[in-house]
Structure 1
Amino acid sequence: MLPFSVAFILIHLCCLFLLFHFSFSHSFCHPHDNLALLHFKASLTMNDDRYCDQVYPTIATWENGTDCCTWSGLKCDTISGHVTAIDLTCGGLKGQINANSTLFTLSHMQSLNLAFNDFSNSHIPSRIGQFAHLTHLNLSSSNFEGEIPPQISHLSKLQSLHLSCSGYHKLMWKEGTWKRMLQNATELRVLVLSFTDLSSTSMSSLNLSSSLITLSLRGTGLKGKLTDDILCLPNLQYLYLSYNFDLHAQLPSLSCSSASLNVLQISFCKFQGSIPPSFSNLTSLTLLDLSDNSLNGSIPSSHLTLPHLNVLLLYKNHLSGQIPNVFHQSNRFEKLNLRENNIQGELPSTISNLQHLIYLDISRNKLEGPLPNKIIGFSNLAMLFLTHNFLNGTIPSWCFSLPSLMYLYLSNNQFTGMSYCE
């Protein structure tokens, strides 16, 4: 048994340790930040019908006389008590953030998310560039408009930037602002700028960072020829370039093999020519969307055997020839849409090998001949669309016995009846 004096000393030391640990692991909100946030709250009103299905009135928890580090939507530094992160996504906020807003006095900010609010067609204040420590900025779909301030290029530590608009081209990039931002923000991993105006910048001058993982430039008015520079970025996993109607040349042949790109979406542009066989070099693709272009030629068989491809969307093109009969049970297809092309020939016999397939649409083509009498798969198929073709013969009984089928459309063909249903 320890002597009383030794036990007393040990207990005393434990108490001191706990007091020291608590003092430095939890600091109350810095008084300056507390006051700044209350002024910021007072400058805005609530509007619960903006953008989001459900509004989260986070700011309503901000009350005078309470510790701001306990308020919803905030994070504080555990030592200094300074606010380091604000997340007011879908907060139902309405009003304008002016240059004199106390928001910009929160100099320790590392993450700011004001997405899906209503800032009343105001401009993004130039003081946004004062957040020297900012790594994450999200102002998407918050009703900002006008020119994106050049000072945004001062945010050299940015790792993610979201400025997507809910309407076309409400936010505009000047070419100089764009170039300086990319030169300075060398650590960018996520860049989501859909439906902002990048028409002053050509594809050849994008100069994108090799560190990018996600890039979304949908509907940005990009002009020029798409090269493989973007598709071959070494770390890129998600690329969205749809709704750029002035990208009207051919798709590029790839000079690289990429094991990183998972999602490639280049739909609703005006690409012509054939689908490059070299796209099969993108061996990690899970989704390939080239729909609603003017692509012609046949479907490369190598694209149908990509090992990880779940979704292939090629609808509304001018593709012709037959569907390659190369499907096998190792394919992971869940959705295959070839609607509104000029595809000919019979439905390939191996297509029923697609055990994971949920959605199949080959309507409005030139398919002919009978459907297979028997199939060995399609156990998960829920939607089958084969309308407006030249299919003939009798409708086989398997069409009515698939265990997961919910929607079956076979109209506008040349069927003569139905097979006996066992």
Structure 2
Amino acid sequence: MLHSCNQGKMTIWSFCLILFLSNSILVLASHVRHLCRADQKNALLEFKNEFYVQELNSNGIVGDKKTEKWRNNTDCCTWDGISCDPKTGKVVELDLMNSFLNGPLRYDSSLFRLQHLHSLVLGSNNFSGTLPNSIGNLKYLRVLSLGDCHLFGKIPSSLGNLTYLTNLDLSVNDFTGELPDSMGNLNKLTELHLRSAKLSGKFPSVLLNMSELTLINLGSNQFEENNFSGPIPESISKLVGLFYLDLSLWNTERAMVDFNMFLQLESLMFLDLSYINTRSTLDTSIFSPLLSLGYLDLSGINLKTSSTLSLPSPMGTLILASCNIAEFPKFLENQTTLYYLDISANRIEGQVPEWLWSLPDLKYVNISQNSFSGFEGPVDVIQRCGELIMLDISSNAFHHPFPLLPNSTTIFLGSDNRFSGEVPRTICKLVSLDTLVLSNNNFNGSIPRCFENFNTTLSVLHLRNNNFSGTFSEESVSEHLRSVDVGRNRLSGELPKSLINCTRLEFLNVEDNIISDRFPLWLRSLPSLQILVLRSNDFHGPISFPGESSSFNKLRIFDISENRFSGVLPSHYFAGWSAMSSVIDIVDVIPSRYAGRDDSGNYQNSVTMTAKGSKIELVGSVFAIYKTIDVSGNKFKGGIPESIALLKELIVLNMSNNAFTSSIPPALSNLTNLESLDLSKNRLSGKIPPELGKLTFLAQMNFSYNRLEGPIPQGTQIQSQKSSSFAENPGLCGVPLQETCGGGGEEEELKKEQGEQKEQVFSWIAAAVGYVPGLVCGLTIGHILTSYKREWFMRIFHYFT
């Protein structure tokens, strides 16, 4: 019995051992089977050694140095960025994106020995060379990503060999020429990314035959400047899998468009047909069958709508700006998923319907540039739209009463309406308020004194061109302010010192008020201040103080004209104004949403300035170009500071109507970008520096009403000026004035110079005439004396010997 039991146990143990060994063998076999092949490992290690790895990638960003972790004594299928086929051990995926690789991608690179790659991702490395034809040898590729690799030259035609490709990314490179025709072979391509690839030539119409494409991004290239013209190709209807289509700004040359071509694109989620320049009228109901459509922009197209129209329920963004709509679109009442609505720049009159604010997901509403006069329902109707973020009602005919807004409101744009009375205190309850623009209305009373008293996030306060009075109080200033425009009101008192706490302040405009204060030199401590406009107030006193730095490092527009500033500007005054002395890249430095509408329905800053003899308005991106100093209409005296010559990027300089004395600094010729120079109505003396004739961009200049003298410098720009630009300078002469120089004009001056030259020539001739005989006589006498001296010496020698 015991023997039988032991025998049974042995049998069980033997069975377990067999199972264990079998499993181990299977695992071992499986492990061995998954090891990458030697030829694949060698190819990878050789590929690694073709490049050097730097500390930072090409964008100066820390990435992942994947290849530095590869070791020869380990399974290459476990290396970072490598995936292998579990059955064959061949490398099928190589992902070295942002791996600090530096060096050219050679035509004989070991990379091309990895013949079974399905996915090759090498984006954001620095290959700095051409894309070799050998790329076409990787014929099994499904994904090829070479974006931002500093590649240049032509895209090789061998790309057409990669017929399995579904995703191709060559964006952000420096390619030249057109896409090769062979790209038409990529009939399985679903995504094509060519943004900012520097491609040129004709639009690659071959792409329109790729029926599997769902996404094409060709933005920021040079395809005839991407100004597509002519009919929209109806072959677009073949792209049945497309979910994103942007044909905005296509110039059909006012031709008719058959919008039915879009009905086949049943997968569309995003469609932008804005401003395609057609005379066709579009029946909006045509898009009803597109059940996936969530973004639709038909701006600039004449629309036909009806009250029974029903668009797909998942619509999130609807933009119908400039569509010649005369009635509020009633079909919107059923758009319960609507998130963003823009019906600006139409012909809609009357009141905004009350039902609009009951749409549960509505966050952004732009109904600007219409003829709305009010809101249906009680004054608090908008408050029912509990999560409203932005409301733009500017450029309408809204009047009292002012609407109550939900606490969630972040951006409220109500400029160019007929609002009157005081701004209601309820505005102070909007704790999320970032942007408040109420310019060009009839508001009166004081600026709300509540923005300092709570944790406000207000960064934009524009109350321009109203009837606000009283002081600009300390309590009206939020420390988060980036842009302040309270110009053209009746504000008095001093500039609020609490502005010194606004470390993000970039734009400050208080022009055309009656503010009485000394120059706010303390504003120089604001690190971001770029535009300072104090024009037409009652500021007074000096703008420079002994021992105090006047450096405004970021300032690009400085307008303190039409005040009572006085004193002498020291020679070093403009030293340290670095933004005007060098080229700087201005990106997102001014909030682009405040005074003139941009593409997003927001606003941009605006400033009125005097340039080229007339007033102009700078709006939006123009701020990045103009660098201006205007100190005209004050009581400054002394010389023009020599340091102004350091401001080499200055475009407009106006120092007129002061009491500047001394001469015009010749160093002004360093201002090679100057387009407008006004030094009129001062007490300047001496000559106009002839060096100013070198300023080829100087289109307008004014030296009138000074004490200048001498000939006007000759130069194309100066001679093209009107005589009034030099008037009332009794000592000036020459073109374009009537007064000739030296009594005989330029001709007399020329004769005088020629006479002087002739006299010099005659003097040299006379000297030469006298010099030659003298030289001959001298040599003759010298020869005689030398001969005589030799003879005399020989006689003495013979006497003693």
- Give the shorter-chain TM-score range: 0.7 to 0.9
Q: Which residue of the partner structure matches residue 160 of structure 1?
A: 167
In the TM superposition, 1:203-352 aligns within 5 A as: 206-220=207-221, 221=223, 222=226, 223-224=228-229, 225-227=231-233, 230=236, 233-240=239-246, 252=257, 254-255=259-260, 256-257=262-263, 260-265=267-272, 271=277, 276-278=282-284, 280-281=287-288, 282-288=290-296, 296-298=322-324, 301=329, 306=335, 308-311=337-340, 319-322=345-348, 325=353, 327-330=356-359, 332-336=361-365, 342-346=369-373
Structure 1 residues 215 and 362: alpha-carbon distance in aligned structure 2, compared to 1, 3 A threshold:
farther
1:358 and 2:385 aligned:
no
Is the contact between residue 24 and residue 78 of structure 1 (CA under 8 Å) also seen in structure 2? no
Q: Which residue of the partner structure matches residue 105 of structure 2?
A: 97
Is the contact between residue 312 and residue 335 of structure 1 (CA under 8 Å) also seen in structure 2? yes
Q: Which residue of the partner structure matches residue 9 of structure 1?
A: 15
Q: Which amino acid aligns with 1:73?
A: G
1:406 and 2:434 aligned:
yes
* Residue segments in structure 2 that go unaligned for 5+ positions in a row: 303-320, 451-801
Structure 1 residues 362 and 328: alpha-carbon distance in aligned structure 2, compared to 1, 3 A threshold:
closer
> Which one scores higher on RCO, CA 8 angstroms, separation ≥ 6?
1
Structure 1 residues 71 and 334: alpha-carbon distance in aligned structure 2, compared to 1, 3 A threshold:
farther
Shift of 1:355: 4.4
Shift of 1:290: 6.8
Within the candidate set 382, 385, 406, 2:410 is matched to 382
Shift of 1:102: 0.8
Within the candidate set 122, 125, 130, 2:132 is matched to 125
Q: Which amino acid aligns with 1:135?
A: R
Residues of 2 paired with 1:241 and 1:392: CA distance?
A: 39
Structure 1 residues 385 and 176: alpha-carbon distance in aligned structure 2, compared to 1, 3 A threshold:
same
Shift of 1:104: 0.9
State the secondary structure of the residue aligned to 2:208.
Answer: coil
Q: Which residue of the partner structure matches residue 368 of structure 1?
A: 397
Shift of 1:73: 1.6
Q: Which residue of the partner structure matches residue 147 of structure 1?
A: 154
State the secondary structure of the residue aligned to 1:415.
Answer: strand
Is the contact between residue 273 and residue 297 of structure 1 (CA under 8 Å) also seen in structure 2? no
Shift of 1:135: 0.7
Q: Which amino acid aligns with 1:211?
A: E
Shift of 1:402: 2.9
Residues of 2 paired with 1:418 and 1:251: CA distance?
A: 54
Residues of 2 paired with 1:303 and 1:194: CA distance?
A: 37
Shift of 1:273: 5.8
Shift of 1:265: 4.8
Structure 1 residues 50 and 371: alpha-carbon distance in aligned structure 2, compared to 1, 3 A threshold:
farther
Residues of 1 paired with 2:331 and 2:176: CA distance?
A: 37
Q: TM-score, normalised by structure 1?
A: 0.78
1:78 and 2:86 aligned:
yes
Is the contact between residue 52 and residue 90 of structure 1 (CA under 8 Å) also seen in structure 2? no
Q: TM-score, normalised by structure 2?
A: 0.44
Q: Which amino acid aligns with 2:181?
A: G
Is the contact between residue 39 and residue 102 of structure 1 (CA under 8 Å) also seen in structure 2? yes
Is the contact between residue 98 and residue 125 of structure 2 (CA under 8 Å) also seen in structure 1? yes
Within the candidate set 8, 33, 37, 2:40 is matched to 33
Residues of 1 paired with 2:446 and 2:237: CA distance?
A: 48
Q: Which amino acid aligns with 2:43?
A: A
* Residue segments in structure 1 that go unaligned for 5+ positions in a row: none
Structure 1 range deviating more: 47-56 or 140-149: 47-56
Q: Which residue of the partner structure matches residue 193 of structure 1?
A: 194
Residues of 2 paired with 1:289 and 1:87: CA distance?
A: 37
Is the contact between residue 274 and residue 298 of structure 1 (CA under 8 Å) also seen in structure 2? no
Residues of 2 paired with 1:332 and 1:290: CA distance?
A: 21
Q: Which amino acid aligns with 1:115?
A: G
Residues of 2 paired with 1:22 and 1:240: CA distance?
A: 55
Structure 1 residues 79 and 151: alpha-carbon distance in aligned structure 2, compared to 1, 3 A threshold:
same
Shift of 1:38: 1.8
Q: Which string of whole-angstrom CA distances, capped at 9 and with x for unpartnered residues, describes residues 200-239 of structure 1?
A: 2365x54343333322222342533335654784322223
Is the contact between residue 69 and residue 75 of structure 1 (CA under 8 Å) also seen in structure 2? yes
Structure 1 range deviating more: 43-52 or 303-312: 303-312
- Greater Cα radius of gyration, structure 1 or 2: 2
Residues of 2 paired with 1:398 and 1:274: CA distance?
A: 46
Residues of 1 paired with 2:109 and 2:45: CA distance?
A: 11
Shift of 1:367: 1.8
State the secondary structure of the residue aligned to 2:159.
Answer: helix
Is the contact between residue 239 and residue 263 of structure 1 (CA under 8 Å) also seen in structure 2? yes
Is the contact between residue 288 and residue 313 of structure 1 (CA under 8 Å) also seen in structure 2? no
State the secondary structure of the residue aligned to 2:107.
Answer: coil
Within the candidate set 118, 124, 127, 1:110 is matched to 118
Q: Which amino acid aligns with 2:259?
A: L
1:23 and 2:21 aligned:
no
Residues of 1 paired with 2:34 and 2:86: CA distance?
A: 6
Structure 1 residues 14 and 172: alpha-carbon distance in aligned structure 2, compared to 1, 3 A threshold:
farther
Residues of 2 paired with 1:250 and 1:331: CA distance?
A: 40
Identity of aligned residues (%): 25
Q: Which string of whole-angstrom CA distances, capped at 9 and with x for unpartnered residues, describes residues 233-253 of structure 1?
A: 4322223456x7767667955
Structure 1 range deviating more: 394-403 or 110-119: 394-403
State the secondary structure of the residue aligned to 1:404.
Answer: coil
State the secondary structure of the residue aligned to 1:390.
Answer: coil
Q: Which residue of the partner structure matches residue 173 of structure 1?
A: 178
Structure 1 residues 235 and 270: alpha-carbon distance in aligned structure 2, compared to 1, 3 A threshold:
closer
Q: Which amino acid aligns with 1:141?
A: D
Q: Which amino acid aligns with 1:160?
A: N
Q: Which residue of the partner structure matches residue 611 of structure 2?
A: none
Structure 1 residues 68 and 192: alpha-carbon distance in aligned structure 2, compared to 1, 3 A threshold:
same
Structure 1 range deviating more: 69-78 or 18-27: 18-27
Within the candidate set 56, 69, 72, 1:64 is matched to 72
Q: Which string of whole-angstrom CA distances, capped at 9 and with x for unpartnered residues, describes residues 2-22 of structure 1?
A: 743144224422442354245
Q: Which string of whole-angstrom CA distances, capped at 9 and with x for unpartnered residues, describes residues 274-324 of structure 1?
A: 884537545534444678999743358379565545445788xxx332387
Shift of 1:347: 6.5
Q: Which string of whole-angstrom CA distances, capped at 9 and with x for unpartnered residues, describes residues 15-68 of structure 1?
A: 423542453366222211222122222222234142364422222222333322
State the secondary structure of the residue aligned to 2:397.
Answer: strand
Is the contact between residue 145 and residue 168 of structure 2 (CA under 8 Å) also seen in structure 1? yes
Structure 1 residues 178 and 18: alpha-carbon distance in aligned structure 2, compared to 1, 3 A threshold:
same
Residues of 2 paired with 1:276 and 1:262: CA distance?
A: 19
Is the contact between residue 385 and residue 410 of structure 1 (CA under 8 Å) also seen in structure 2? yes
Residues of 1 paired with 2:271 and 2:103: CA distance?
A: 37
Q: Which residue of the partner structure matches residue 87 of structure 1?
A: 95
Shift of 1:372: 5.8
Is the contact between residue 284 and residue 309 of structure 1 (CA under 8 Å) also seen in structure 2? no
